[in-house]
Amino acid sequence: MGNQASSAVSPSSSRYQTSTLPESFFTKYADMTPPPYTQNSLDTRSSSNIVFRSSDEQYLSLSRRDVDAHTGALIPWTWSPGGLVADLPEPSTTLRTLFGFIGARNHPTMLNESFESLAEVAKAAEKYQVFSAINKFTPRSFGDRHPKLVLLYAAHNDHPHIFDECAPRVITSENLENFAPLLPEHLRLPWWR
């Protein structure tokens, strides 16, 4: 039984056969007629962009698809798809830079930014879980000039490798009794050790 030859059809020649391809494969553009609109598709299309209002009353817009794909918490829980605007507490300069990391585009480099503006964008990236911004930059490059601030950023945003890099500079330059209360509670005892 197991040694009998199969009665299956032998494979055809190894040459490419065009008869198995659909006719539309050879045309440059397939039928591009859009499907008819229904009420559901109109509702989906009207909610395809989300408009955000910054604390300084500037309006910024992002694609809902990009927001869902590239962030974890940008849309406030108070916003509904029928709502016109989602309010965010950050200024427009911070949000414009942050929104540059959302979607398929070249991301901002932040090379010439001050530590203060970089820290604001990094804080917003952590808050809204804009993963490409979190992975692209952190205040790490300012560790030599602002070790205390960078160490605190790393401590409060769970970046142990940045914390470890800045710790030797902070230990030698800061009063430990004044610095320890600024750390998250779970790091205070290890810091003293």
Taking only the tens place, the pLDDT of each residue in 27-69 is 444 444 444 444 443 344 445 888 999 999 999 999 888 888 8
Alpha-carbon distance of 103 to 101, in angstroms, equals: 6
Long-range contacts of 116-119 (CB under 8 A, 24+ apart): 117/93, 118/142, 119/149, 119/153
pTM of the model: 0.62
| Spatial contact of 184 and 176, defined as CB atoms under 8 Å apart | no
Residue 16 has pLDDT above 60, yes or no: no
| Spatial contact of 170 and 192, defined as CB atoms under 8 Å apart | no
| Vertex 116: Cα angle to 132 and 175 (nearest 5) | 110
**pLDDT confidence tier of residue 185, bands split at 50, 70 and 90:** confident
| Spatial contact of 81 and 40, defined as CB atoms under 8 Å apart | no
Alpha-carbon distance of 86 to 147, in angstroms, equals: 35
- The whole-chain average pLDDT of the chain stands at 75
